[in-house]
Every structure is written in C-alpha cells, then in structure tokens.
Structure 1
Amino acid sequence: MGSLQESLTKFKKQQEKCQSTLTNIAAKAGSSKAASLKSTPSSTSSSANAKSPTPVKFSNDTERLQHINSIRKAPVGAQIKRVIHLLFETRQALTPEQINEACYVDTNANKAVFDSLRNNPKVNYDGKRFSYKSKHDLKDKNQLLVLIRKFPEGIAVIDLKDSYPNVMEDLQALKASGQIWLLSNFDSQEDIAYPNDPRAVIKVDDDLKHLFRGMELPRDMIDIEKELQKNGMKPATNTAKRRAKEQVHGIMPKPKTKKKKPEISKRTKLTNAHLPELFQHLNVPGS
C-alpha cells in the first residue's frame, strides 16, 4: 500500500512539472509574436496587400455545362425523345422555359426542335405549353372499363398503356375482378383486352366458323391428352394413369353409352348465339 501511494505522488509531481513547462512555452511564443508585429511597419503590410494578385476563380460546374452542351448539339430526334419522355413522366403542361430548365432542351433557340415537337402526334401544343397526348384520353379505371366495353372484338393493350401512369395496374385489377379478359395474340405476342360481357355481340369471321365446324375431336380421352401435349399444353387429367389404377383394384371401365342430345326449348340458354347456323336443324317446340 505504501509503494502505491509513493507512485501516485511521483505521478502527480510529473504532471505538475509538465504543466509548468507548457505554460512557459506558451508565454514565450506570445511575447515573440507581439515583438515581430511591433517591428513590422504598417506601410509594408498595406503595400504587400495591394500588390498581391486576385486569384482567378474557375467554374466548378464544368461537367454540367458540358452535359448541357452535348444535349443541345444532339440530333433533333434525340432532343424530341428527351422532351416527350419528360412530358410522359410528369403529365403536366410545360412552357419552353420549364422544359429547358428540366431537361436542357432549348426549344426557343432551336426552330427545328420546336416545329418537330409541335407537330409530333404524341404532343399537344396550345400555343404556350406542351403536354403529352395519349391515343385514348383516359383518366381512371372507370373510363378505362367504359372504353374496353366499346371494343367487344378486343383492343390492344399497347394502345392503352400510355393513357395515364397506373393504367397497367388498373388493367390487372379489372382482370382480377372478372370485368375484362386479357388474352395474348399469338401473331404479335401482344395482349388484347376484351370485355367480359355475355351480352356483347361478337362478329366471328367465316374462316373461323368453317374451322370450328370442320374440327373433329378424338373420341378417346387419351388421344385428346396426346394432342394437347403435342401443342405444348399440359392436360389437367391423366387418363392412362387413372385406368391403370382401376385395373389394379379390379374396377372394370364402364361401357360408353351414346348420350342423347338434349332438346332445345325456348328456355334453353344459347351460348353460341353468334353462330345461328348451328341451330338451323334443331326442332324448337313452339317455333
């Protein structure tokens, strides 16, 4: 315990000595600085300040200016595309000054850009402002549904997707609620929107009618499943596997009986009403 107390006392003395040394150094530095200031004439310092050159300030925005210059020197088509993208994203009517500020395309200084933008089918110009012009002027999901119902034979989704920002989400919502169908066109690989309305009158081409009447399906379900697989479709049933299980359990397949065609009456709901030729040979009571 005594040795520990002696160590602490020694440490305190060393700290006091260091502090005293630092105080003396600071005092000497202050006095030497004051002496040097007194020995320097004021006229010398003023003349030195007068002769010192003013530093030249260069722009720190060089990269941005180079970017703006490259845009304004770009071909007219590239500048038009940049403006149309801006109008599509904002969906606002913008003056030439606002366009210049937002995307650095100066339509006032470039007549070719101004004229091309004014005559572009995707742009509307009211004399002061430019705005985006979609093929169909729609604002919300209700207007979208009303438009689709006007096209019972289908309307291309590509003609709808630029109507307003969230039109694709509304199309999926209408499909999920069962109000429309979204089917793919095998020729162009594009989606077609159809109204899901059983009252809609659909015009069917004569070629499609002849194809429908001339198509004969296989009588055996196994053959039907094979045809589906040939066309890249997965059958919902597996008749061969089901029949194999029945044979294992000793279940004999039921003999196929020829079903009697149901008679057509006035109360019968005709789902293929757009093909009246199919019902020409049917005897409808009371007709």
Structure 2
Amino acid sequence: MGSLQESLNRFKKQQEKCQSTLKSIAGSKTTVKTTTPAPRVVPANTSTKLPSPPIKFSNDTERLQHINNIRKSPVGAQIKRVIDLLFESRQSFTAEQINEACYVDVKGNKAVFESLAKNPKVNYEGKRFSYKSKHNVRDQKELLRLIRTFAEGIAVADLKDAYPTVMEDLQALKAARQIWLLSNFDSQEDIAYPNDPRVPIKVDDELKQLFRAIELPRDMLDIERDLQKNGMKPATNTAKRRVMAQNGNIYNKPKQKKKKTEISKRTKLTNAHLPELFRNLNG
C-alpha cells in the first residue's frame, strides 16, 4: 500500500515539473516572436493566430485514489467485490483479470487470495476463479430435472443463485403446472415441489391432519372469495348463477329423446342371414 502512495506522490511531482517546463518553453517562444523581424509583409486582411494553449496532461489522480481506497478496505469488502463480479458475469477470471475489472489485487494480497480460494461461493481451479452455486443448473430444463429429484421439495433459496434468470424460470414452470411453489409452515420459506404423477410423494401424517382440520365455508360464495384471495380462479361463479336464477334465465332443458329408427323395405339389408330381425318390416 505504501508503494502505491509513493507512486502517486511521484506522479504529482512529475506533473508540476512538466507544467513549469511547458510554461518556460511557451514564454521563450513568445520572446523570439517579438524580437525577430518578420521575413515578409503580412497583408492587412489576414488575421493573426493566437498562441496555442499549453498542453494539459490527463489528471488520473481520482482513479488512483479510488484504487488505493479499494485495496485499503477490509478483506471481506474486497471478497464481496470479487464475488459480485463473478456472479454477474458468470465467467472465469485470472488474478490479473480480476485486478483489471474491479481493482482488487488478489495476487498481491495474501489474505484476500486465501479467503477467496476457500470461499464456498467461489470455484478455484488453480489459476482461474469462477462463481460456484449450490446446484449446478444452467437453464429451465435442467432446473425442472433437478426439482423432480427432490420429491419432498427443495428450498427456493438454494436455487436463487443457480443462474441469473432462475426466478423467472421458476414462475414459468409454476404457470405451466410443472411444479408447485408453497410456503413452509415452520420457516416461512418458499419450497418448490415437482408436479409429476410419476414422482412418488410421501405426505407426513401431521400435514394430513392439518389438511383435514381445515373447515371449509358452507357457502360457495365464501369459498370462491378465499380462492381468489390466494390467487386462484374459481371454476364456478355462484353470484352470477344466483342472479340469473332470480331473473328466470336458468332452467333445466329437457333431454330430447332419440328417435327410434325403424327398418322398412327401403332399408338396405346387410344381414340377410338373420331373417328373424326383419319380420316386422313396415310396408
């Protein structure tokens, strides 16, 4: 860290020295122009050129100060900065590439290097660092295949960091009724369950008792309201049916009896070998 501050001080001194040198050069050029006679007469209508401004060097002090602040920050803050980079990019980086991307000197700081290599969210292969999620899935198909291996459910919190669009894919699988997303009674966390009849699901006796102990409302209107509160669409509309019943718009249509087809002489007979079927032919 001391070497970086010394480099910053030397850079400032070099800037001051260069500025003073440029000013002296610009002053000497102005003196020469005033004392040296013009080689030819300049026309009156020609505009004289103003002296060019002194050259300005780019001021990199703020960037160097920003890098210095990052490298002086606690090890945990630097580790978080690197993990955020690995999580958002989902690419592997060398120590030099991490330094260029987020200014964390992994190679020059032993504490940062050891903490990063041992972090459970980081995969270190000897040269490159990459993000390590709890479950190695990369798309919706692999996500569904993973959930189907957990017949008793898998916590959504364990899936959130699988890949950037995993939460959108979970909602898509729920909308397609390929999985269920339910909340755990004890931890209040969301659990993903497979909705596949081929997957055997074991239901605890305690859960069965809780389900059977739920008392449903006696009126269908209350049942439909409860379904709507929980984001489900009722298959019936009791309120509408009752209004129509009061207006006399609902009635039971009598079933029409099918006409019994009779066999006549004009009917083409295909079962001539069964004459007892055709005794009562209408003339």
TM range (shorter): 0.5 to 0.7
Q: Extract unaligned runs of 5+ from structure 2.
A: 1-32, 40-53, 252-283
> Aligned residue for 1:202?
201
> Aligned residue for 1:174?
173
Quote how far apart the aligned CAs of 1:197 are. 0.3
**Take 1:141 and 1:203, find their aligned partners in 2: how far apart are those partners?**
25
**Take 2:226 and 2:177, find their aligned partners in 1: how far apart are those partners?**
30
**Take 2:192 and 2:232, find their aligned partners in 1: how far apart are those partners?**
23
1:87 aligns with 2:104: no
Identity among equivalent pairs (%): 75
> Aligned residue for 1:129?
128
Alpha-carbon distance change, 71 to 223 in structure 1, aligned in 2, over 3 angstroms: closer
Structure 1 range deviating more: 237-246 or 133-142: 237-246
SS in 1 for 2:138: coil
**Take 2:166 and 2:160, find their aligned partners in 1: how far apart are those partners?**
6
**Take 1:148 and 1:232, find their aligned partners in 2: how far apart are those partners?**
23
> Aligned residue for 1:142?
141
Q: TM-score, normalised by structure 2?
A: 0.59
Matched ranges for 1:1-287 at <5 A: 37-38=36-37, 60-185=59-184, 190-221=189-220, 224=223, 239=238, 243=242, 246-247=245-246, 249=248
SS in 2 for 1:181: strand
**Take 1:74 and 1:130, find their aligned partners in 2: how far apart are those partners?**
21
SS in 2 for 1:192: strand
SS in 2 for 1:137: coil
Q: Which amino acid aligns with 1:148?
A: I
**Take 1:89 and 1:182, find their aligned partners in 2: how far apart are those partners?**
26
Quote how far apart the aligned CAs of 1:106 are. 0.5
Q: Which amino acid aligns with 1:152?
A: A
Q: Extract unaligned runs of 5+ from structure 1.
A: 1-33, 41-54, 253-287
Q: Which amino acid aligns with 1:145?
A: L
Quote how far apart the aligned CAs of 1:180 are. 2.2
Alpha-carbon distance change, 120 to 213 in structure 1, aligned in 2, over 3 angstroms: same
**Take 1:227 and 1:174, find their aligned partners in 2: how far apart are those partners?**
24
Task: Number of aligned residue pairs: give it.
Answer: 207
Quote how far apart the aligned CAs of 1:170 are. 2.9
Quote how far apart the aligned CAs of 1:100 are. 0.7
